[in-house]
Chain A
Amino acid sequence: MNDTLHSHEAPIEHPGYGTFIGVWLLLLLLTGCLVGLSHVSQTYAVWGLMTLTPLKAGLVFYYFMHLKYEGPVFKIVILVTLGTLLIFFALLFSDVAFR
């Protein structure tokens, strides 16, 4: 059987093993920092939660989930989703603040 394949994508250069292993090591390091900060004080723990956790999630999104290699449509879809969640978050806490 001689199948003809039609794909919309142009061939791209794929990242190798090393890139992902490097990101994984960075994720382990950041997890260690997060745990360390949580042992210092409650304030440090909250700062760790607000900064290191989104950074870790961003690394997974950007590298492991290949967002780095995707077009702008993918990034827009995700940013719109995160923006929507942020709006809901702001609406809830603005309600709480003026209650």
Chain B
Amino acid sequence: MSGHVHRDDLGSRLGMWLFLVTEMVLFGGLFIGYSYMRYRYPAEFHHGGMELNATLGVINTLVLLTSSLTVVLSIVAVQRAEKQRAMALLSTTLGLGLTFLVIKGFEWSAKFHHGLYPNSAHLATLPPGEQVFFGLYFTMTGLHGVHVIAGLSVLSVMLWWVATDRIRQDRYIHLENSGLYWHLVDVIWIFLLPLFYLAA
């Protein structure tokens, strides 16, 4: 039996990039909104930033940067037909992504414990600028967290596909595109760190 497989990896990557630019516009709009609000409420944003745990923000940055490295290295491993190494690297990425979410969970829990959550009674007593700061903080880090969960779900499928040889040396475009998504999640966090955690 002879089959004819038509494949366009370049078109596939371009399609993924077109999706990613819509994500860039989504977060870009929020970043522009943040810029205006910080310009309008500089003191309140400074004070709001002091409420956040910069150490946890920096640790999460290191975690995500390292997870980006392990994804890109897993692609190199697949290109070199090093299946076990690729699986180990992808598993490390999943572990780091989960670590990021756990740290984020602790951070948000601490805020909730102090009465800082959307529409809380305590938040309503704060100056308008600080309400805006925490509104943007929960919206942007929350939306980013949703993207981390989506990325981890997709990368879990990629790990399964590497294990079952659906992704292999001559066919790894799905892993490349999933990696692109994960890197964009990392890039968004690169901007969130100085905007919120280092704002004070």
Contact = CB atoms under 8 A, between A and B. Distances in A.
A89 B198 CA distance: 22
Given A3-B4, A15-B76, A20-B76, A34 B191 contact: no
Interface in A27-58: 27-28, 31, 34-35, 38, 42, 45, 48-49, 53, 56-57
Given A31-B65, A57-B191, A3 B5 contact: yes
Given A31-B58, A34-B198, A14 B32 contact: no
Contact of A7 (B9, B69, B186, B191): B9
Contacts of A61: 183, 187
B6 to A, nearest CB: 5
Nearest to A49: B194
- Tell me whether chain A's interface is mostly helix, strand or loop, or mixed: helix
B5 A88 contact: no
- Tell me whether chain B's interface is mostly helix, strand or loop, or mixed: helix
Nearest to B77: A17
B29 to A, nearest CB: 7
Interface residues of A, number: 51
Contacts of B25: 81, 84-85
Interface residues of B, number: 53
Interface string B33-64: 00110010000001000000010001001100
A57 B187 contact: yes
For the complex of A and B, the 6 pairs showing the least CB-CB separation, nearest first, are A38-B198, A85-B28, A24-B69, A81-B21, A49-B194, A3-B3
22 contacts: A2-B3, A6-B5, A14-B79, A20-B76, A24-B65, A31-B65, A45-B199, A49-B195, A53-B191, A61-B187, A64-B68, A64-B179, A65-B179, A65-B183, A70-B13, A74-B17, A78-B21, A81-B21, A85-B32, A88-B28, A92-B35, A92-B36
Interface of B: 1-11, 13-14, 17-18, 21, 24-25, 28-29, 32, 35-36, 39, 46, 54, 58, 61-62, 65-66, 68-69, 71-73, 76, 79, 170, 176, 179-180, 183-184, 186-187, 190-191, 193-195, 198-199
Interface of A: 1-9, 14-17, 20-21, 23-24, 27-28, 31, 34-35, 38, 42, 45, 48-49, 53, 56-57, 60-61, 63-66, 70-71, 73-74, 77-78, 81-82, 84-85, 88-89, 92-93, 96
